Amino acid sequence: MTNEFTLHPTADGAPGALTTEDFASLGGGHIAYVRPIDSEEASRLFPQAQLQPGLKLFTLHAADGTPMMLTDSREAAIASAMQNELVMVSVH
């Protein structure tokens, strides 16, 4: 997997800033992360899901933030990533 980026100087001239487009293409379909989510937000990301209010859920996201999976357990989201040969990263 290779990604090529142009490093753009920051306002103070420091090298190394990535554009929004560069960040969006990171991972090239190979990197994912799991995020806790409540059912209200999940309903916005997954409009086809009929969810009760107040549920604590988990989403699996591609590196660019695209939601890929909704589940009720972190372990199931991680297992799905592993089955699809995605590299899991920690996002803070």
Domain segments of the chain as ranges = 30-88
C-alpha–C-alpha distance, residues 38 and 23, integer Å: 26
What pLDDT, on the 0 to 100 scale, is given for residue 91?
73
Per residue in 11-62, pLDDT (tens digit) is: 666 656 566 666 556 656 688 999 999 999 999 999 999 999 999 999 999 8
Burial of 20-46, coded b for 16+ CB within 10 Å and e otherwise, reads eeeeeeebeeebbbbeebebeebbeeb
Query: Taking Cα atoms as reference points, which of 55, 47, 90 lies closest to residue 71?
Result: 55
- Count how many residues are written for the chain: 92
Q: Is the pTM of this model over 0.85?
A: no
pLDDT at 3 over 60: no
What pLDDT, on the 0 to 100 scale, is given for residue 53?
93
